[in-house]
Chains A and B, each alone.
Chain A
Amino acid sequence: MGKYLIRRLLQVIPVLFIISFVVFCLVFVAGDPVALMLPEDASQEDIEQLRESLGLNEPFHIQYFTYMVGLVQLDFGDSFRYNQSALPIVLERLPATLELAAAAMIIAIIIAIPFGIWSATKKNSPVDFLATGGSVLWKAMPNFWLGIMLILLFSVTLGWFPVSGRGTLSHLVLPAITLGTGIAAEMTRLIRSSMLEILNQDYIRTAKSKGIRNFFVVNKHAFRNALIPVVTITALQTSTLVGGTLVTETVFSWPGLGQLLIQAVNTRDMAIVQASVFVIAFIVILMNLLADILYKILDPRIKY
């Protein structure tokens, strides 16, 4: 296990380098940020002058070399927009995004586990139809629409929660529900199908025939074995949440990484885009590693 962990951690380095190269190429191909940095009335001469001062008229390989020299020192350069080092700006936003992602995941788990188990044990019952039908409905609702609807209902009409911003726990509720319900829908379906498969296994029948109470058969014998795919999806969804809260963060003015990234892409703030993608990629790799470790804990038969 120890060797496996070291090997996996070492693999992170080339993966991050490949990702940073791809991002650099994409940002380079996307075009020149200078024109966007100056207003409509800037002259061509002004644009050229600024481009030269920022070193953006250098050829690809020179710019990439400069970028790589910085990268090995974890220096992504200065943000064009903020005129400050990019990585601290990105890291400053991370807590807000992690807070939202964690809250969304908790809501998803709170909804998905009981409904998933319930609909599997009551297959083809009204509860099952409600859970599966509801899942499709929630998954089908786009986040930006759901977010705006929740604001209209719970903030504007009922006045229960603040409309937007970050501060108290009440600010967290609506964005976390917006993000969490979509994941809950996916997880409910997954738990249901995973549980159905396991409830048909011989050892479950054996357990039941031994007279063990149904509650323990379902929640101890079956559920623990049904957890492996759930852990996979939870880990993947958590990493998606870190990078994928863009729309929800914008709708709720949540000052996280997603909002920063959207603005950076719009203004072609290369340093911020590169630093954000780098940080998100690192978290995705870390979450995948965590999932692999959890497999081992859940199923001792798994060997690395």
Chain B
Amino acid sequence: MKRKAFWGIFLFVISAILLVGCSGGTSTGETTDNGQKETDKTTDNGQVDKTLTIAVGSDMVSFDIHNHNNTSTEAVHVNMFNYLFKKDASGNIINELVEEYEIIDDLTVEMKLREGVTFHNGDPLTSEDVKFTLERVAKDDKLKEYPNYKQIKEVQVIDELTFRVVTHAPEPSLFHRLSRLGSGILPKNYIEANGFDHFLANPIGTGPYQFKEWVRDDHITLVPFENYYNGKVEEWDEVVFRVIPENSTRVSELLTGGVDIAVNIPPADWDRVNSNEGTAIVQEVSNRVIMLIMRATEGLPTADVRVRQALDYAIDDGTLADIVLKGGAVPTKTMVGPGNFGDNPDLYNTFNYDVEKAKALLAEAGYADGFEMTLQAPRGRYLQDAEVAEMIAGMLAAVNVKVNVEFLEWSNFVEMRNANENKEAYLLGLGNSMFDGAYSVDWYRAERMAGHTDYKNDRIEELLAASASNMNPEEREKQIQEISAIAAEEVPFIKLYQEKINIGVSDKIDFAPTSDEMINAASIKRK
């Protein structure tokens, strides 16, 4: 009897082991149907595996290029759609689908498309496609990208390849708008013939890669477009974006060779990635500046410019960047970093730190014994955000300013901002997908900040009004630089540092991240 019971259990155990054993056997030596592959980029039969696998933290949301507002979605789109203009590695705007253009007057730019560009279904790219695309996003206020394109009044078709973009008012940032997120060109005929839902399920563009498959929250697969206007990309036969939300899982996939690139690696895992044979962390400065938004409302200590300056001098941005972020940031005194129109190099990679001066400024402002203030901060939104907020509280304690740090979950944080319930300071990161400094310095506009920070500077107001419609780039650049210089002096926001993008990369590939956080598979090479 005992023997039979024993055999019963034995059978259970054996069947469990068999189940596990059989499963284990399928995991090696082959490319699975969801695009995963072995560590070695050579397959069993000796052929080179030309699949590029990229691990991203969140899934793309849609193939509607005008309705997502999401960098990781755009990182996929840029492989399938082309913009009219694009930015080169130094941030200069260069032609992409447009071959040449001419500025007719302050409201009109005439552009001519490249010849021979076709969509993935073979339809040629024409001016009608541009009209359809730009007028869609410029007129439909339900689209999330509408605020960034509503400046466009209409697109006039001149001939098959020539068209004019007409704006409501002089629009100095037009070229920046046309070379960023949501600027891809859609296929008019294809969408009108099949409907937009069909397009969303079977998207086509003019880019180097075309759509193969999307399994939501799992992976997106792209394959090279044979008739790409710039020549078929031979480097990769397949590009797979895998969705891996958990940081440690993404790192593990990179370490085991499951993916070639893993985005957003947190500082805690950098050593693991760097010490592993065959992987390394590569960094590039992003276009996001982390800062403290100061409330200058009458009655608060932070309304006094000397107090804001004192707090700026009391915070050691260098320690935040080098120690708390382990070198994953560059200290700055401006929101307009390198690569942006109107950047001011004197204000970048530098910071104010002088505790004695901070104490003196506080004494001068009548706060020799310090004061108490609240710092609101999100947790988990930005790299080491909670640690940074706590460290700032510690630094300010050294000048007798008692900081109560109030951590808010992101959605509550957003609500706090929208309801103007911000206290003396809150921690925020602001990016600039336009790469035009005008977009950043607009945050100092008194009307925009009324009831929020209540900061106002008459000279800044003048410069903002002048630069908004200034079609002379040299003058406009100087105006933006002057605004940044005033803001560095008056500190309506205490700029802390510009965050870096941290990407784990296999040493079998050559990949250099860009500050716009896009992943252009065509520019990634095998070593």
- Interface hit among A57-65, A69-77, A164-172: A164-172
Are the CB atoms of B9 and A114 closer together than 8 Å?
yes
8 Å CB interface, B224-256 against A: 242-246, 248-249, 252-253, 255-256
Which residues from chain A contact B415 at a C-beta distance below 8 Å?
31-32, 35
B4 close to chain A: CB less than 8 A: yes
B194 close to chain A: CB less than 8 A: no
A: interface residue count bin:
35 or more
Are the CB atoms of B26 and A152 closer together than 8 Å?
no
- Please encode chain B, from 62 to 75, with 1 for each CB lying within 8 Å of some chain A CB and 0 for all others: 10100101000000
A17 close to chain B: CB less than 8 A: no
Other-chain residue from B61, B142, B245, B410 in contact with A250 (beta carbon distance below 8 A): B245
Are the CB atoms of A37 and B69 closer together than 8 Å?
yes
Q: What is the distance, in angstroms, from A173's C-beta to the closest C-beta of chain B?
A: 5
Which residues from chain B contact A47 at a C-beta distance below 8 Å?
418
The A interface, classified by DSSP as helix, strand, loop or mixed, is helix
B431 close to chain A: CB less than 8 A: yes
- Bound-state Cα–Cα, A93 to B215, Å: 10
Are the CB atoms of B61 and A82 closer together than 8 Å?
yes
Q: What is the distance, in angstroms, from B447's C-beta to the closest C-beta of chain A?
A: 10
| Chain B residues within 8 Å of chain A by Cβ, number | 69
Are the CB atoms of A54 and B142 closer together than 8 Å?
yes
Are the CB atoms of A41 and B248 closer together than 8 Å?
no
Q: A53-B141, A83-B64, A255-B216 are in contact. Are A166 and B23 (CB under 8 A)?
A: no
B195 close to chain A: CB less than 8 A: no
Other-chain residue from B1, B25, B249, B429 in contact with A253 (beta carbon distance below 8 A): B249
Are the CB atoms of A167 and B36 closer together than 8 Å?
yes
Are the CB atoms of B418 and A110 closer together than 8 Å?
no
What are 11 A-B pairs with beta-carbon distances under 8 A? A31-B412, A35-B414, A43-B147, A84-B197, A156-B252, A163-B252, A164-B246, A164-B252, A168-B26, A173-B24, A255-B216
- Bound-state Cα–Cα, A47 to B420, Å: 14
- Most chain A CB atoms below 10 A, which of B2, B144, B216, B246: B246
Q: What is the distance, in angstroms, from B489's C-beta to the closest C-beta of chain A?
A: 23
Which residues from chain A contact B58 at a C-beta distance below 8 Å?
263
A24 close to chain B: CB less than 8 A: no
Closest to A127 in B: B9
- Bound-state Cα–Cα, A122 to B68, Å: 61
| 19 further contact pairs, Cβ within 8 A, besides A82-B61, A255-B217, A266-B411 | A36-B411, A39-B69, A41-B439, A44-B418, A93-B216, A118-B5, A151-B249, A151-B252, A163-B252, A163-B258, A165-B219, A167-B33, A168-B23, A170-B23, A170-B27, A173-B19, A173-B20, A213-B1, A259-B217
Which residues from chain A contact B151 at a C-beta distance below 8 Å?
none
Are the CB atoms of A92 and B216 closer together than 8 Å?
yes
Q: What is the distance, in angstroms, from B247's C-beta to the closest C-beta of chain A?
A: 10
- Bound-state Cα–Cα, A47 to B252, Å: 39
Which residues from chain B contact A192 at a C-beta distance below 8 Å?
none
Are the CB atoms of A114 and B12 closer together than 8 Å?
yes
Q: What is the distance, in angstroms, from B237's C-beta to the closest C-beta of chain A?
A: 19
- Bound-state Cα–Cα, A160 to B24, Å: 6
Closest to B253 in A: A163
8 Å CB interface, A75-96 against B: 81-84, 89, 92-93
Which residues from chain A contact B1 at a C-beta distance below 8 Å?
213-215
Are the CB atoms of B430 and A167 closer together than 8 Å?
no
Are the CB atoms of B12 and A166 closer together than 8 Å?
no
Q: What is the distance, in angstroms, from A288's C-beta to the closest C-beta of chain B?
A: 28
Are the CB atoms of A43 and B448 closer together than 8 Å?
yes
Which residues from chain A contact B439 at a C-beta distance below 8 Å?
41
B501 close to chain A: CB less than 8 A: no
Are the CB atoms of A159 and B256 closer together than 8 Å?
yes
Which residues from chain B contact A151 at a C-beta distance below 8 Å?
248-249, 252
Are the CB atoms of B26 and A170 closer together than 8 Å?
yes
Which residues from chain B contact A155 at a C-beta distance below 8 Å?
252, 256
- Bound-state Cα–Cα, A53 to B143, Å: 9
- Please encode chain B, from 4 to 43, with 1 for each CB lying within 8 Å of some chain A CB and 0 for all others: 1100110010011001101111111000111010000000
Q: A161-B23, A164-B249 are in contact. Are A255 and B215 (CB under 8 A)?
A: yes
- Bound-state Cα–Cα, A260 to B218, Å: 11
- Bound-state Cα–Cα, A162 to B252, Å: 10
Closest to B419 in A: A35
Which residues from chain B contact A228 at a C-beta distance below 8 Å?
none
- Bound-state Cα–Cα, A218 to B243, Å: 49
B428 close to chain A: CB less than 8 A: yes
B432 close to chain A: CB less than 8 A: yes
Which residues from chain B contact A263 at a C-beta distance below 8 Å?
58-59, 217, 245
Q: A164-B244, A253-B244 are in contact. Are A36 and B414 (CB under 8 A)?
A: yes
B268 close to chain A: CB less than 8 A: no
- Bound-state Cα–Cα, A30 to B412, Å: 9
Closest to B59 in A: A263
